[in-house]
Structure 1
Amino acid sequence: MVDHLQKKPHSILVSYPLQGHVIPSVQLAIKLASSGFTITFINTQSIHHQITSKNQQSGHQEEDIFAEARRASPGLDIRYITVSDGLPVDFDRSLNHDQFMASLLHVFSAHVEEVLLKIILENKPNVSCLIADTFFVWPGHLAKKYGLLYISFWTEPALVFTLYYHMDLLRSNGHFGFIDAREDSIDYIPGVPRIEAKDLMSYLQTPDVSVTHQIIFKAFRDAKNADMVLCNTVEELEPQVISSIQKRVPFYAIGPLFPTSDFTSNNNVAMSLWAESDCSRWLDYQERGSVLYVSFGSYAHVRKIDLLKIANGLALSNVKFVWVMRPDIVDSDDADPLPDEFKKGTQDRGIIIPWCNQKQVISHPAIGGFLTHCGWNSILESIWCELPMLCFPLLTDQFTNRKLVVDDWKIGVDLCVVKNLVTPNEVAKNVKYLMTEESSRELRNAVKEIKNILDKAIQNGGSSWCNTTKYIKDLRLILENKNKRNLNV
């Protein structure tokens, strides 16, 4: 009988079906497969359809998003499976957020369990652990049911994780869950010196209990019992928070999770949900650092009134720009929300595109700043390209991420000082401030220092390199002890 520990450990990885979660999940799969794991990657049919239909339009028709990566690196043992999230493939999930969340809460796990059981039966006894996004509510239960380790994968900063982890403290102290919730500073969360109520995640700034809140409550009850937590952050960026949370759960900071050796590459894995426009030729004609990149991410919507004021502010600033205008940025019935006078008035110094390869664009020498919604992937990518940021958070962790960028690391400024009060003049003033090298010199120096931290972390001997190595070593040790216990039974 061959000891299954002599074989490659087999991890099943379930990605959360949003663009910002798929990207680091794919990179985690590649990182672990490159370290000797067998990975079965489970994606939703909806995300798969968006990715592959976009690729089919460009002439590529791969049914497995990892196929090209395996051809480039034949040793990668990554299998790929898609399952339904419980809704029709063409259902508009972003405009029907609560219905989408309800399906993930009540239906998706049944489809995952069906394929999970099939994988275990076909690969037994070598399947060792279930790696799943922390926002799922069922991984701990399924892992225990089938004798697997549960590895929780957190795609956002450790600060956001620890605030959700301590929701009970926020509630008991009156900062969350009440119509008249306290608005003063919060100084009782372990590892967090002080944070303002306005900097909590958007879901903790509302008294209404939605299906999303139910998911968060259940997900973090599950995560507290995880065997390990992997986090897409860097230890030196959040040392106090990470040190504190490590006292409660084995927590490994292994970020940033993107292919840093060739930043414009996606390791040959298609991950974009929309067809990508190529603006490189236009950028090639622009002066170094003269163009502002504007993008509000892949999921959240912008109020049309705010979008128009931001556009007016950009027009007033006279700054060159590339603006990624997602087709449903306002809603799916308003695919072209910008007025013609704005587009005509700025056509000599700006281009508007529906979607792009963000890493490729922001690494171009012509890009000098990033107006961002403060999604965590965008922040890490902006730091890697040494771009200071203009921050306009819209949803969920983005408000807390803004605090890290503006208040803690001082690598960005707010687009508008008062939340939900956008004015064209303030937008123009802050755009010019960010894009003028002399006025934003301190920001640019600070972001270079943070970039160096990221760079050192992923090098041999750096914190993320060591934490990844430690995770693999610890996982193998747990599996070895588990196997010995089973043999003694």
Structure 2
Amino acid sequence: MKQQVEIKAHAIMITLPYQGHLNPFVDLAMQLASKGITVTFVHTQHAHHLITTSRHTPTSDIFSAAPHLDIRYATISDGFPLDFDRDLNWVDYWESLIRDFPSRVSDLVGDIISSSDPSLPPFLVADTFAAWPAMVAQKYNLLNVSFWTQPATEFAIDYHLHLLKQNGHYPPNKDDDEHVINYIPGVAPISTKDLMSHLQEADPTIAHEIVFRAFKEVVKADFILHNTVQELEPHTLSVLSQKQATYAIGPINFSTKTKTSVPIPKSLRHQVDCSKWLDARPRRSVLYISFGSIAQTNREVIQEIAHGLVVSGVSFIWVIRPQIVIDDGTDVLPAGFDEDVKDRGLVVPWCDQLAVLSSPAVGGFLTHCGWNSILESVWCGVPMICYPILYDQPTNRKLVVDDWKIGINLCNGESVCREEVAEKIKKVMSGEASDANLKEIRSKLHDAWSEDGSSHTNFDRFLKDLNHKI
């Protein structure tokens, strides 16, 4: 039996107010607290408002379901009123997060420290994409823990942005053909078309500023935690560990110590319960479709997928959230779609994705390739049809389809056509697509948080190293 690692310290955790970042941060908080660490978890007031109203059971503390853990809960203003549309005005929002939010964080951290038990040394746990960790850590003399919620491969690419610049691959030339990049330490040769979207855009955007600022900050971190598994990206993690203290602790969402009798509320949207509908379906007969919480596509893509579903004859659950299409239209499905699919389809604005993927009725996942979605799909043994849209998703697709061979592409060209959609759906739902590889990768994820698994061991190593420096 492995000896439990427990340390007495105080983690001040501040996540970004987005679902893909929030989910692993909550689970990391639970894991730290299960090791005896006091945690102060900070949400923006807007994120707290969305979580509590989506459940129709407002609570001042989302961690009240875990009273056995010492997790304090706090909120901070992001500088905007609750009814401000942060998605529609995301450039203005992020410019403010970069310009104005750091001073608010600094003041809050100072207040938390001054009102906390002085016998518990505080340290900072912040999202790698935040613009303020190094400043706050230096001001209060805190150890700075950076938490990266995407694959290590993408961290390594952004970390070595200077090499892309030196080799003329960033910024990209609009007229350039596809190139293979084979000089980034720890990263296997990768096509320019498989780089993250901010590295494929020739014109600078707010996304560039967010990423570039983040990677100027992260070199000042004392520890870097990665929500990936050592066995999935061994070479990349090994190379990164030669630069800074690096620990693969994924999938943190499934770490064994985070289980509670009542789930901690994390969803920023109201979730439709699909369990009864799924329970009435045969095993592996349902395709689940979701493009995550942020990514937008165009109406034509949605309509071609809809026509492909009609042709395929497959049962499905399809998450079509508000603002999923760029033109913000409300009626995005083709005329007559409901009649064409009759009772074999369920269209919902949002749902508990893990609960759906865990259902025996689900046999495939058409996904935008967000990292949380990939981890959840692999954990549940559900093969993927990949349609990346932006951010980290093109690189995630490469890992899933080309490297690990646990999914297929939705389309072989740039355009989506209904015939190809129907063909790919039938291929995945027939069970012929990459089942053997999926079982192997799934085993690696499940083993990682076993008693002697790599993520369990790495997390304990992180705690020991933290305890040594704190």
Q: TM-score range by the shorter chain?
A: over 0.9
Q: Once the 2 structures are TM-superposed, how far is the Cα of residue 344 of structure 1 from its aligned partner?
A: 1.6
Query: Is 1:206 equivalent to 2:164 in the alignment?
Result: no
Match of 2:66 among 66, 69, 76: 69
Offset, 1:62: 1.2
1:225 Cα deviation from its structure 2 partner: 1.6
Contact 1:263–1:359 (CA under 8 A) maintained in structure 2: no
Name the amino acid aligned to 2:167. Answer: N
Q: Residue 14 of structure 2 aligns with which residue?
A: 14
Q: CA deviation at 1:127?
A: 3.8
The CA distance in 2 between the partners of 1:177 and 1:69, in whole Å, is 47
Quick one: which amino acid aligns to residue 38 of structure 1?
T
- Deviation, 1:317, is 1.0
CA distance in 1 between partners of 2:261 and 2:216 (Å): 33
Alpha-carbon offset, residue 212 of structure 1: 1.9
**Equivalent residues of 1:94, 1:300 under 8 A apart:** no
Q: Is the 8 A contact 2:299 2:325 kept in 1?
A: yes
In structure 2, which of residues 149, 159, 166 is the aligned counterpart of residue 155 of structure 1? 149
* 1:469 equivalent in alignment to 2:460: yes
Partner residue of 2:378? Answer: 383
Q: Give the % identical residues.
A: 47
Give how far 1:100 is off.
2.0
Shift in alpha-carbon separation, 1:264–1:140, aligned structure 2, 3 A = closer
CA contact (8 A) 1:44 1:82 kept: yes
How far the C-alpha of 1:227 sits from its partner, in A, is 0.3
- Structure 2 CA distance for aligned equivalents of residues 347 and 104 of structure 1: 46
Paired letter, 2:443: N
Contact 1:264-1:360 at 8 Å conserved across structures: no
TM-fit CA distance, 1:77 = 0.7
Q: Report the CA distance between 1:61 and its aligned residue.
A: 2.2
| 1:80-229 map, 5 Å | 80-123=73-116, 124=118, 126-180=120-174, 183-229=178-224
Q: 1:2-61: CA deviations, max 9, x gaps?
A: xxxx982001011111010000000000000001111111111111111011122xxx22
Displacement of 1:87 in angstroms is 2.1
Question: CA offset at residue 279 of structure 1?
Answer: 1.6
Q: Which amino acid aligns with 2:36?
A: G
Q: Distance in 2 between matches of 1:224 and 1:88?
A: 34
Residue 236 (structure 1) aligns with:
231
| Deviations 1:214-262 (CA, angstroms, capped at 9, x unpaired) | 1211110110121000110000000010001111111100010114659
Match of 2:53 in 1: 53
Is the 2:113–2:122 contact (alpha carbons within 8 Å) kept by the matching residues of 1?
no
2:36 and 2:108 mapped to 1: Cα distance?
23
Cα distance between partner residues in 1 of 2:257 and 2:87: 31
- Given that residues 327 and 336 in structure 1 are in contact (C-alpha distance below 8 angstroms), is that contact kept between their aligned partners in structure 2? no
Q: Aligned AA for 1:372?
A: T
Report if the CA contact (8 A) 1:174-1:182 is conserved: no
Distance 1:145 1:125, change over 3 A: farther
Q: Which has the higher contact order (CA 8 A, sep 6+)?
A: 2
Does 2:420 align with 1:426?
A: yes
Identify if the C-alpha distance between structure 1 residues 478 and 7 changes in structure 2 by more than 3 Å, giving closer, same or farther: closer
Structure 1 pair 243/267, CA: closer, same or farther in 2 (3 Å)? Answer: farther
- Aligned equivalents of 2:444 and 2:9: distance in 1? 31
Query: Counterpart of 1:458 in structure 2: which amino acid?
Result: W
Unpaired segments ≥5 residues, structure 2: 1-5
The CA deviation at 1:126 is 2.8
Shift of 1:348: 2.4
- Structure 1: 5+ residue runs without aligned partners? 1-5, 480-489
Question: Is 1:402 aligned to 2:397, yes or no?
Answer: yes
In the alignment, the residues of structure 1 paired with residue 23 and residue 327 of structure 2 have an alpha-carbon distance, to the nearest angstrom, of 24
> How far did residue 332 of structure 1 move?
8.3
Query: Residues 116-175 of structure 1: CA distance to partner in whole angstroms, max 9, x if unpaired?
Result: 110111124634211100001210111011100110000000001101101111111111
| Deviation per residue, 1:249-299 (Å, 9 max, x gap) | 111000101146599979621011111111211111111001100000011
The count of aligned residue pairs is 463
Secondary structure at 1:269's aligned position in 2? coil
Instruction: Describe the superposition over 1:462-486 as per-residue Cα deviations: whole angstroms up to 9, x where unpaired.
Output: 100000000000000011xxxxxxx
- Give the aligned residue type for 2:226: C
Q: Which residue of 2 aligns with 1:279?
A: 274
Partner amino acid, structure 2, of 1:120 = I
> What is the CA-CA distance between 1:331 and the residue it aligns to?
5.1
For 2:143, the aligned partner's letter is: L
Structure 1 CA distance, aligned partners of 2:395 and 2:98?
A: 25
Contact between 1:234 and 1:255, CA under 8 Å: does it hold in 2? yes
What RMSD over aligned residues (CA atoms) do the two structures have, in Å?
1.8
CA spacing shift, 1:333–1:184, aligned 2, 3 Å = closer
TM-score scaled by length of structure 2? 0.95
Q: Which runs of 4+ in 1 moved over 4 A?
A: 260-267
Question: CA contact under 8 A between 1:259 and 1:265: conserved in structure 2?
Answer: no
Residue 30 of structure 2 contacts residue 258 of structure 2 at CA under 8 Å; is this kept in 1? no
Amino acid at match of 1:422: V
User: Any conservation in 1 of the 2:225–2:249 contact (CA below 8 Å)?
Assistant: yes
Letter of the 1:396 partner, please give it.
Y
In the alignment, what sits opposite 2:358?
363
User: For residues 202 and 20 of structure 1, what CA distance do their matches in structure 2 show?
Assistant: 17
Q: Is the 8 A contact 1:130 1:151 kept in 2?
A: yes
Tell me, in whole angstroms, the C-alpha distance in 1 between the residues paired with 2:263 and 2:197.
Answer: 34
Show the counterpart of 1:247: 242
Aligned counterparts of 1:62 and 1:409: Cα–Cα separation in 2: 42
Aligned to 1:300: 295
